[in-house]
Structure 1
Amino acid sequence: MTARWLDEPRNPRSPLAGVKVLELARVLAGPFAGQILADLGADVIKVEAQDGDQTRHWGPPWMGVDEERTAAYYHACNRGKRSVMADFNDGDDLGRVAKLAGEADVVLENFLPGKLTRFGLDHATLARDNPALVYCSITGFGQDGPRRDEPGYDFVIQAMSGFMSLNGEPGGDPMKFGLSISDLACGLWAANAIQAALLMRHRTGPNQGKGQWIDMSLLDCSVGLLANQAASFFATGENPPRMGNAHAQVSAYGVFPTQDGPVVLAPANDRLFRKLMTVLDRDDLIRDPRFASNESRIAHRSMIDAIIAEATADWTRDALLRRCAEAGVPAGPINTLDEVFADPQVEARGMAIELGGVPGVRSPFRFSQAELALDRPSPKKGADG
């Protein structure tokens, strides 16, 4: 292991140009946070064990880079980093990792609580020599509490956080999301917290120049996303029911049929509902007291949904979406991924990227005075030391 920090920023115009991030993380939440920081211009050195991040082996599908077959999953959360291999049980390797940590702005790790203490890579040890260090720990359940020592898995967290109780058809079984929402949400929260802590180092006062320890929990991050559903529970004391594609607080708002496939209609207020009724040539319903307000529409949800479904079934999908767009009614197709990346709006925004022959999805930041640092694909195992 011979890695050292870059002498020059990857992209001087990137927001985190010159920031040094040591990533001691694997799988998804930690690496996703690291990739966000890398896209924002940080120099991210990923430390991997001899067999590499386990997601390198989570195929199929596979992607070939320089004749090395690596799972597509790995490339989803490791773009822009450099990779070094280290054995923490090897004194020389451990010393080199500690040296990198001593020069880093950020250490990002997702080991079980206390596990890095035996290697001298815990926050307390590293902060003694590097008091400006921002140290972010990602765990399943946090650094305290009765479940602190348990590993965190996205599926389990989705179940425990209430996500699955809210997701699924009315009266049906609980359902997990179609993506690892708990892991990804924690990565997003972590990247946000890291940048806040970096900014805090520059404040005047007793914290100037000082880093801190950030304690991120998958469970906390998922519970933190309950937002309006949690507010509904606090207001009523009742568990929100599973509603499928319906909205608990808005009607009519959902999935409706057309001659050649369903569409989403989202008239989220009375004004938009009236516009939709005009599109569907049902102005008579605007004056119907059962549908005159959102509250009354919720009380007659099944009735208005059935009326709208009967009306939309006479349209083709594209014709209805075009007419809704002209009338200012929020509506959209239910796209598969091939349709997503062929969508003119997605193409115009440049969301699909390719680096070194590896396709991916860029971080969705747009700055007026800065650029992302999109300069390299995910690294080969140990490519940098």
Structure 2
Amino acid sequence: MAMFKRILIPSKLFCLSTADYSTKLPGLLSDVSVLDLTRIVAGPFCTMTLGDLGANVIKVESMDGDESRKWGPPFMKGDSNKDSFYFLSVNRNKKSICLDLKSQEGKNVMYDLAKKCDVMVENFLPGKLDKMQVGYERLSQINPKLIYCAITGFGPTGPYANRPGYDVVAAAMGGLLNATGERNGRPAKPGIAITDLTTGLHSFGAIMAALYHRQKTGKGQKIDCNLLSTQISSMINLATVYLNCGIEVQRWGTAHANLVPYQAFETKDGELVIGTGSNAQFADFCRIIKKEELINDERFKDNSDRVKNRDEIIRIISEVIKTKTSKEWSKLFENASFPNGPVNKMKDVFDDEHVIAIGLVKELPHPEVGAVKVVGPPTVYSAGGNYARTAPPTLGQHTKEILSEFLGYDDGKIGGLFNAKVVR
């Protein structure tokens, strides 16, 4: 009996079988097929974003699978492949096929997949797939309309081209770690792989632009995205200030270099971020915390004065904020003109009334453990659909389906590939 899952989406309530789950929800990219040879985070995040929009994402894995499947604990309970929750976080809306690309038979399957796909995304070292005869050089001959996106650590040229690149290395070399951490403290790594994620989003945007270009010209192309360039471009004002003024970056913790107050403050039971981006917001803040005398104080009359006298104004505010709990201040600031919010733990995040109300968390049927929870796509489209459709696949879960239904291989050919251990 097919498992049924009620799926709540804006304005409609669907009741679909697991088999229909990925096909009945609309998607802006439902006519696009993606060949996904990515692992870890940056590439999978890019292809998951395409999948959220309805693209048919075929995740081609080695016989051992994406390395991040083993990035635990924690692992999924009851999963015979022991997939990590790390893997689950960036691989929904995909179908998995295991393929031996070292064999000629495996290469032939890859060529057949490339003929039928619109996009390919990979994150191997530059030139590695070309040496295996399954890179852009070969696949663009097979399918000139193919949009081929390569995600690397440092790009295909330059002295670092052949270095392996991970998020924290690019964050270090690109200036992010040096800009992150407490004042006068050591550099700090952000709590998530933010360089990977931003590179994945740049790749996604580049692929969308290339699809638009192909629609006009009928031509595919190669896209190169890399972690280091993405990270350096993400330094925005810090990079521009250095390039034009020669001013080096300082670490400010949660504070802002150019706005005061704009940081986390200790409350009676936690921490609360408060930001005032204008004099009007600062005045509103002072009135609510009953410190109206600060509004016309010569030391704090405008932002440049507050920046100059940062330590004193922060000391005064800190003494006040410590007198109430985070919840009490949040209630007082409910209709304030300035932005504010508590520093939440994950429990607080998912217990938040707003997060619950917008239905950001989705529960998806899974063949091994019944169901898994994921954070759904953050962007809402008025038309087209952007949904978490299917749970991340188990290793090789869709090998037979892809060979049969997508490529049209007969049972004899499929059996031969399994017997030769070309596929799993």
Q: Give distance in 1, aligned partners of 2:240 and 2:149.
A: 29
Equivalent positions of 1:187-336 (< 5 A) are 187-203=200-216, 208-336=217-345
CA offsets 1:226-264 (integer angstroms, 9 cap, x no match):
011112212320211001111011001111122222211
Question: CA offset at residue 66 of structure 1?
Answer: 5.6
Whether the aligned pair in 2 keeps the contact of 1:10 and 1:18 (CA below 8 Å) is no
CA offsets 1:293-338 (integer angstroms, 9 cap, x no match):
1111000000100111111122222121111122333111110011
Q: Give distance in 2, aligned partners of 1:201 and 1:65.
A: 44
Q: Do residues 149 (structure 1) and 158 (structure 2) align?
A: no
Paired residue type of 2:335: E
Q: Tell me what 1:99 maps to.
A: 112
- What secondary structure, in the 3-state scheme, does the structure 1 residue paired with 2:295 have? helix
Equivalent positions of 1:1-385 (< 5 A) are 10-11=23-24, 13-64=26-77, 67-203=80-216, 208-356=217-365, 357-385=371-399
Whether the aligned pair in 1 keeps the contact of 2:114 and 2:142 (CA below 8 Å) is no
- What secondary structure, in the 3-state scheme, does the structure 2 residue paired with 1:213 have? strand
Paired residue type of 2:281: L
Paired residue type of 1:329: F
Paired residue type of 2:111: A
Q: Give distance in 2, aligned partners of 1:380 and 1:310.
A: 53
Residue range with higher mean Cα deviation, 52-61 or 226-235: 226-235
Whether the aligned pair in 2 keeps the contact of 1:11 and 1:373 (CA below 8 Å) is no
CA offsets 1:72-95 (integer angstroms, 9 cap, x no match):
111011101000011111111211
Shift in CA distance, 53/157, structure 1 to aligned 2, threshold 3 Å: same
- Give TM-score, length-normalised by structure 2: 0.86
Q: Give distance in 2, aligned partners of 1:178 and 1:264.
A: 17
- What secondary structure, in the 3-state scheme, does the structure 2 residue paired with 1:45 have? strand
Whether the aligned pair in 1 keeps the contact of 2:300 and 2:313 (CA below 8 Å) is yes
Q: Give distance in 2, aligned partners of 1:317 and 1:89.
A: 58
Paired residue type of 1:341: F
CA offsets 1:348-367 (integer angstroms, 9 cap, x no match):
22221111101111121101
Paired residue type of 2:313: I
Q: Tell me what 1:5 maps to.
A: none
- Give TM-score, length-normalised by structure 1: 0.94
Residue range with higher mean Cα deviation, 37-46 or 11-20: 11-20
Percent of aligned positions that are identical: 38
- What secondary structure, in the 3-state scheme, does the structure 2 residue paired with 1:378 have? coil
Q: Give distance in 2, aligned partners of 1:58 and 1:257.
A: 35
Whether the aligned pair in 2 keeps the contact of 1:141 and 1:220 (CA below 8 Å) is yes
Whether the aligned pair in 2 keeps the contact of 1:10 and 1:373 (CA below 8 Å) is no
Q: Give distance in 2, aligned partners of 1:40 and 1:151.
A: 30
Superposition RMSD on alpha carbons, in Å? 1.5
